[in-house]
Amino acid sequence: MTRWDALTTICGDLRAGLLGGQREVERGVPWELIIEVSSFHYVTPTLAWCLSDDATVPSDVRDYFAAMASLNSERNERMLATLARTTSILNAIDIEPVLLKGAAYLVEGIYPEPGLRILGDIDILIPRDRGATAVAALRAAGFGEMLSDVVPPPSHHHLPTLHDPVTGTGVELHTDVMSRAPDAVIATSWFCEMTRPAVFRDGRVRLPDPTRNLAHAIFHGEIFHSNYAAKKTQLRYLLDVAMLRKRHGPAIDWNDIDRRFGAAGVGEVLATHLAFAAALLGQPAPTLSHGPREGALAELCGTESRDSFASQIERLKGACDWLLTEWGRVIASRDRIQAELERTVAAHAQAESERAEATRALDLVRASRSWRFTAPLRAILGASRRWRQ
């Protein structure tokens, strides 16, 4: 049995538990592999919920799934408490945050229970011109950065992560969804056009329009996180899109999504993601202007069947090699600049020395007896030149 067999088995269970499909009677895949693959794809709590009434699950596996589901439910409750605190602080300065990604899915309730979806942090969108005010308000309430946080560059679409002093949950204040460019696939202005007001624990928030939310989910997983380029997918993101489609099916404007992805030259990415959803989760793909990448499912099977840890180590080694190469270039460039600076400093010092020597020589000439004796003659010569002019 391979990881691909485990993945397709997990997809069958998710499809049966969440999307109305039929569960396989005979699995045939070791539970250890099922657990490893579900963890790798961040769907263990979701799988646990789908298998909660399956009598064929061994007792030790059932206990493991129950523990994972319970722990993630507790974690998500802490994260939602942070979202409520953040919303209250922002509402007090007249900001209604737009919820993004996992936070939006949980508040909107696209999963049957809030503990089914693993979250990394809380992502919310605020007006670009209110960023400094929002950060100041959260800092005043005790939110702060951690030394381990990676500080995003100034052009990044979210500000440095702030952490709730009560729960430790990270909050990312986004001032752009992905890009401010109006022709981008996920342009901030387009994304914000049709947000919906909602109430979350007495706080005022806004939820994305289903079409824009779904487009963002696909773009974020396939392009921003480079899953498409790596010829793989992450089941968590695939399931997010599937649940959005289940919840909002007729309200999703596929023509708009297709047009935006196609205009940006990534129509094949959209089609490939939806082809994966059809093959793995049983959701038929809508009619699009582009087809999926040729052989994409076979490539995904090959990528998924490789040992995940070995492939991760290979990627890390490749990244380290690239970083070492770039570091070598930086060092060589630094050495060249240092050598040039030293040459410039030496040339400047030499010029200063020559100037000082010339100044001393001129001072000696002006202080000499012959210079004083010839002063009248120089005056006469100067007057003669002026008279001739």
Type and span of the H or E element at 341 = helix 308-367
290 in Cβ contact with 268 (< 8 Å): yes
CATH number of domain containing 85: 3.30.460.40
Domain match, 244 and 374 both: no
Q: What is the pLDDT of residue 138?
A: 95
Domain match, 242 and 269 both: yes
Domain match, 128 and 48 both: yes
More reliable by pLDDT, 363 or 88: 88
Type and span of the H or E element at 197 = strand 196-200
Domain match, 264 and 375 both: no
Of 206, 237, 1, 9, nearest in space to 96 by CA: 206
Residue range 166-176, pLDDT digits in tens: 999 999 999 99
Q: pLDDT grade, residue 320 (50/70/90)? A: confident
Report the SS3 class of residue 78.
Answer: helix
Residue 267 falls inside a structural domain: yes
Residue 266 falls inside a structural domain: yes
Domain ranges, residue 22: 3-306
Q: What is the pLDDT of residue 327?
A: 86
Residue 317 falls inside a structural domain: no
Domain match, 269 and 177 both: yes
Domain match, 280 and 340 both: no
Q: pLDDT grade, residue 312 (50/70/90)? A: low
Residue 230 falls inside a structural domain: yes
Window from 29-38, 66-75, 101-110, 303-312 with minimum mean pLDDT: 303-312
Total number of domains in the chain: 2
What's the rounded mean pLDDT across residues 30-43? 93
Domain match, 126 and 95 both: yes
Cα separation values, 338 from 79, 89, 348, 352, Å = 50, 50, 15, 21
Of 52, 73, 1, 11, nearest in space to 31 by CA: 1
pLDDT over 80 (residue 162):
yes
123 in Cβ contact with 207 (< 8 Å): no
pLDDT over 80 (residue 9):
yes
What's the rounded mean pLDDT across residues 81-88? 96
Of 151, 138, 60, nearest in space to 97 by CA: 138
Residue range 239-277, pLDDT digits in tens: 999 999 999 999 999 999 999 999 999 999 999 999 999
Domain match, 247 and 101 both: yes
**Domain-ending residue, one of 306, 340, 367:** 306
Q: Left, alpha or beta for 103 (phi > 0: left; psi -120 to 50: alpha)?
A: alpha
126 in Cβ contact with 137 (< 8 Å): no
Q: What is the pLDDT of residue 325?
A: 85
Strand order in the sheet with 196-200: 162-163, 170-174, 122-125, 98-99, 203-207, 196-200
Report the SS3 class of residue 277.
Answer: helix
Domain match, 351 and 225 both: no
What's the rounded mean pLDDT across residues 96-108? 95
Which residues are registered as beta bridge partners of 336? none
Q: pLDDT grade, residue 182 (50/70/90)? A: confident
Domain match, 247 and 170 both: yes
Q: What is the pLDDT of residue 26?
A: 66
169 in Cβ contact with 163 (< 8 Å): yes
What's the rounded mean pLDDT across residues 72-91? 96
**Domain-ending residue, one of 275, 306, 337:** 306
More reliable by pLDDT, 325 or 13: 13
Domain match, 331 and 288 both: no
Residue 318 falls inside a structural domain: no
Q: What is the pLDDT of residue 367?
A: 81
Cα separation values, 64 from 57, 69, 70, 242, Å = 11, 9, 10, 26
Residue 319 falls inside a structural domain: no
177 in Cβ contact with 191 (< 8 Å): yes
Domain match, 151 and 180 both: yes
Query: What is the reported pTM?
Result: 0.75
Residue 363 falls inside a structural domain: yes
45 in Cβ contact with 121 (< 8 Å): no
CA angle 139/145/147 to nearest 5° reads 155
Residue 375 falls inside a structural domain: yes
Give the number of other CB atoms < 10 A from CB of residue 222. 26
